[in-house]
Structure 1
C-alpha cells in the first residue's frame, strides 16, 4: 500500500474532472523527483 495518499488524491481529481487530470510523479535516481498536479483552471 505504498503512496496511498497520492493514489487517493489522484483518484479524487480524476473523478471530479476526468481522466485528463490528476497527479503524476517522475523520479530519476541521483537527479530528483518531479510531482505534477493537473487540474482545470477555474474562472
Structure 2
C-alpha cells in the first residue's frame, strides 16, 4: 500500500529564510509528484 499523505523529514545545509525548496518524486507505481515550500526560520 502507498500512503495517501506521507510524512517526509530531511535537513538542509546553508538554507536561508525565503529560499525555495522543491522536492520531486516517483513512487513504486511510476506516478510522479512534487511539492514546493518557502523556508521559514
TM over 0.5: no
Give TM-score, length-normalised by structure 1.
0.36
TM, length-normalised to structure 2: 0.37
CA radius of gyration, larger in: 2
Bigger relative CO (Cα 8 Å, ≥ 6 apart): 2
Report which of the two has the higher share of helix.
Answer: 1
